[in-house]
A and B are shown apart, each in its own frame.
Chain A
C-alpha cells in the first residue's frame, strides 16, 4: 500500500502505517478504519471500543407531568441490564445539535393540550423541527409517544419526532408506540421490542467517505451580491412592546462566503409598492413604461432611491421642473429654510408639491440616485452557525406631514422579505471592530438596542473558541419584559460561564429614565479596574446620543477612579483608542 504525496503524515508515521497495513485481513482493516475514524471525530471512547463494549444508548425525553421522565429512567435501568450504556437526556436541558453524534436513540415524549409539546421541551422541539437541524445519517431510533385519546391531536409530538427522525436520515428500528393515559403495558412492550431491535454491540467499521470541498468559482461581493435565502425571520420584541426589532437568519450555503465577528452585511433593499405607486401617480408615469430592458416599475423597485430627499436631488429636480417657488427655496442664502422644509419630507412630497406633467421615464430617473445597499452589524459567529449569517434589524416606521414613512431597507426586510425568499447580500469587513487577538483579554461591550448585534457574535465566537477572557455586557432598551433582545441566550451564556457580568438599563420600567451610561457610571470602579487589567472596551449602536454619552461617561470614570485630571483622562481614553482597545461601531 502506498501513500500519495499529499499525505499529511510525517515520514516516521508513514512508515508505521505501511508496516501496520501490510498483513491485515479485510475485517481487520475495516475495524482499524473505524478506530481511526473514531479518533478523527474526537470521540476517544468509540475509538477504543472493543467488540464486547456495551452499546451507547441515548434516551431522550420530554416531560410535563413527570411520566416521560420516569419512563425514561425505567428504560435506562432496563437497557443497562442488557449490555447497553444508557443515559437519559431531558429535552429541557438539551439542544437538537446534541443528537448529531448519537447513534442509538430512544425518544419518550408526551403531547399536551391541542397537540403541544411539554412546556420545557418546546425550544428543543422547535429547533428539532426547524430547517437548521443537521442530517442524522448514522442514527438508529425508536419513539414512544404518550398522549390522551380524548384529544384530537393524540400523540402528535411523538409522531412528529418519529417522522422527523426518519426524514433526517435516521433508521427506525422498531415501530412507534402510541400510549394512552394507561401507558404502562404499551410502554413495556415497546421498550423490550426496541432494545432487542438494536444490532448487537460489535466493532463498528466506518467507511470514511471522501469529502472534498468544491472550490467556489464565483466571487460574491458588493458588485456581485450573493442571493441568500432567508431561513428564519421574526420579531424579537414581545407582544406589548412599542419596538419592532427583527432577527433574521440568512443561508450562505454553497456561497463560499465567510466573515468575522464585527463585520457587517450589506443588503440591497427594494422599494415598497406603495411608494412606487405614489411616485407613479404623482409623476403621471406608467408602471409598464420601458426603461432600458426593464419596466419602469421594476427599475423604481430595485435600482433607484425614490424616498431620500436631499438638496442635491431637489436642485436636479428643479432644473427640469423650473418651479419658481422651489427656486426660491433653493436660493443659496435660504439653506436653513430648505433644510427645515426637507426635514421629515421625502421625494414624494417634492413631486406632489411641485408637480410636472412632462416626465419621461428617462428624465425622471435621471434626477434619482441609485438605490444603495444598507449595512447591518452581523449578529452571529460562523463557528456557532455554520453557513449562516444573522442580523438584528430595527424596523423604522414613522409618520410625518400626514404620511406614513418607513426605513427602506429595514421595512423591506420586515414586510416584503419572507422565509424562503432570496435577497442580495455582500460582506463588509470591519477591521476596526474586532475581538482581541488574545482569548484571555477581558472585554466590556456596550450595546443598547440593536447595538447588541455584534456582541452576540462576539460571545458566540468566544464560546466556540473556548476563550477564557471575561465578557461583560451593557444592554439597554425600553422595557425589560418586552425588549430584552436575545434574553434567553444571555441567560444560557451566563449559565455556561461565557457571560461574566451583565448590566441592564431599561428606560421605561420606572419613573426616571435609566440608560447604559448610568449603569457604566454606577459600576465605574469596576469598569476602571477591568480597563487597568487590560480589558477592551466596545461600543455599538446609536451614534447621535448614546455613543457620545458613553464616551463622556468613560472619560469621567477614568478621571474619577483613576484619580486623573480631565486632560489626563482624555489622554488615557485616546491611548486606549490608539491601542485598538476602545473600538466603536456606531451609526
Chain B
C-alpha cells in the first residue's frame, strides 16, 4: 500500500513551510492551496467556510466565504486575566466576535479572513500564547485537571503539562518565518522561555523528523478522583497518584485512547486507553517522548484512518508496545497504582480552597463565550478580567473557572457575576450541565449534521422528560458531534449522538459516567425530532427501576437496552435493532 497523501505533503513541506507565504500574499482568493491547508493545521490554523452560504455565494459569483479557525494552545488551560482580555479583543477585532472554549482546554477563534491571519497570530503571540501544533500530526495542547481546590497538587501537574508541551513542540522555524516575521528579517520574540520555535541546529526535528507523526496525538494529565479531562480517550495520559502527604508520588501512564472513527468502516472504532505502568514524576517527560517515538516509528503511515496510537497498540499488543517504550527509556515502568475516579463533569459555582482563595466554576453552554441581548456573558467576563488578580482556567468540559480570587475580592466579583446573569448560569438540569457539543455546522468542514447550534434546543425537549421523571438533579452525560471524529468525546457519554446526515444521528447509549466505558449503538440514523420519544421510555424506566446510586449508563446496560462494550474493537459488535417507540 502506498503512503498516505499527507505523508508526501509533510515530506515536501520543508518542515511545515510549504507555499503558505505565497498563499497569504494572493489577494484574489480567501483560500490557501489544498496542500497548504494541510500544513497550516500544524500551525493551529484550519481553513473553513460558512457552509450555510455556499450555494448562495456561488450564485452571486463569489467563492465560498472562506475564513480561518485559529486554535490557541493553553497548556493545562490556565491563562492570566490580561491574556483573557487579549483573547477577547482578538475575537471582536479579527474574528466573529465570539471565543470558543474547546473540549481540550484551548481557545478557538472562528471567521478570521486570510488578510487578517498574520496580524491575528502575531497578536496572539504578543499575548504570550501561541497556536503552533494546536492541530496537525503532532502532539497538541496538553491538558490537565484544573483542580482549584487542590492547588498544591495542581501546581505540580500544571508544570508537568507545560513541560511536556514544551518538550514536544515542533522545533521548525517555519512558524516564525510565516507568522511572526515583521518584515525586517529579525526574529520576533517568541512566547516561551526557552523559545519553543527556533531553527534546530541540524535542520531537523529532533523528536518528530520530517514526517512528523502519522496522525494527531493528544496528551492529558488527570488528578483523581476527577476525570474531567477524560483520560481514557486520549493517546497518552498521566494519572497523578497522590500519597498521604498530598504529594504526587508519580503517575500511572495510560496509552491508546481515541475517539475518531468512520461511519460504515467497522475496522475503525473508538477505544479507551490501557494503563501501561507507573513512573515517577521526574520520569514523566521522558516517558512521553518515548511513547511519541514508538508511535512515530510504528504507527500506520499508509492509512490515516488506522494511524492513531490506539490502532498501533491493537496491532502490537500492549506488552510489546511497553517493551519498545522501555527499550527507549532504558528502564522499566513500575506496576500501576490504585486509583479511583468519580466523574468526568465539572462542579459548578463557588468553592473555597485550603489557603482561603475562592474559585467560581461558570457553566458555559458548549463553550461559547459571546454576548446576546439576554445574556451579556462576554462583556461580563471582560469586566471581571479587568479587575481579577487570580487566573482563568479552561475546563475540559468547555467551562470556565474564575480561579484564585482572594477573599477580599469575592464580593466585587460576585456583583459582576450577578449583574451579567452569570451567577446562576448553572441553575439548569443536571442533564444540561453535563452536555457537550462540538462546533459542526456551519464552519466545520467535516460536519455531516448540526451540533452546538442544535443540542441546546434538543436538551430543552429532553429536559421535559427528565423533569417529568423527577431526574432534574441526576447527572447524565449527553454529548453530540456533527461527525464521527468525536471532538466532544461522544463515545464515552451515557447518551451519545453522532451526526450521519442533516437531521440524522446515530444514538449511542451506555457509556460510563466517569468516562471509563464506551457506549454502544442503540439506534442508527435516527431523525433528530424522534430522539426525545425514543429516550422517553428509557429515562422513565431508569427513574423507576434503577438501583441505589446506579448511573444511567450502567442502568441501560443492566436493563439490556444495549450490550456492554468491553473494549474498542467490540464497539460495533452486538448491535441489536431495537423496537422504537416512534
Contacts and interface: CB of A to CB of B under 8 A. Distances in A.
Contacts of B67: 481
Nearest to B94: A510
B115 A509 contact: yes
Q: How large is the interface on B (under 10, 10 to 19, 20 to 34, 35 or more residues)?
A: 20 to 34
A488 B63 contact: yes
B34 interface: no
Given A122-B55, A150-B525, A491 B63 contact: yes
A122 B53 CA distance: 13
B28 A490 contact: yes
Contacts of B27: 480, 502-504
A497 interface: no
Highest count of chain A CB atoms <10 Å: which of B28, B30, B55? B28
B60 A509 contact: no
Contact of A491 (B29, B55, B57, B60): B29
Contact of B59 (A126, A150, A510): A126
A587 interface: no
A484 B63 CA distance: 9
A486 B61 contact: yes
A247 B62 CA distance: 12
Nearest to B59: A234
Given A481-B30, A503-B27, A236 B502 contact: no
B56 A238 contact: yes
A114 interface: yes
B54 interface: yes
> Interface on chain B toward A: helix, strand, loop, or mixed SS?
mixed
A484 B115 CA distance: 14
Given A481-B113, A504-B28, A237 B60 contact: yes
B63 A487 contact: yes
Nearest to A519: B27
Contacts of A486: 61
A126 B60 CA distance: 12
A481 B27 CA distance: 11
A504 B30 CA distance: 12
A430 interface: no
A486 B113 CA distance: 19
A238 B59 contact: no
A126 B58 contact: yes
B28 A488 contact: no
A488 B65 CA distance: 12
A235 interface: yes
B179 to A, nearest CB: 17
A494 B63 CA distance: 14
A134 interface: no
B85 interface: no
A393 to B, nearest CB: 14
A281 B541 CA distance: 70
A440 interface: no
A503 B26 CA distance: 10
A238 B115 contact: no
Interface of B: 27-30, 53-63, 65-67, 113, 115-116, 119, 501-502, 525
16 contacts: A122-B55, A122-B58, A126-B58, A234-B59, A238-B56, A238-B65, A480-B115, A481-B30, A484-B62, A487-B63, A489-B61, A491-B28, A491-B63, A504-B27, A510-B115, A510-B116
Interface of A: 113-114, 116, 119, 122-123, 126, 150, 234-240, 247, 480-482, 484-491, 494, 502-504, 506, 509-510
Given A490-B28, A503-B27, A510-B119, 19 more contacts: A150-B525, A236-B60, A236-B61, A238-B53, A238-B60, A239-B56, A240-B65, A480-B30, A481-B65, A487-B28, A487-B62, A487-B63, A491-B29, A494-B28, A502-B28, A506-B115, A509-B113, A510-B115, A510-B116
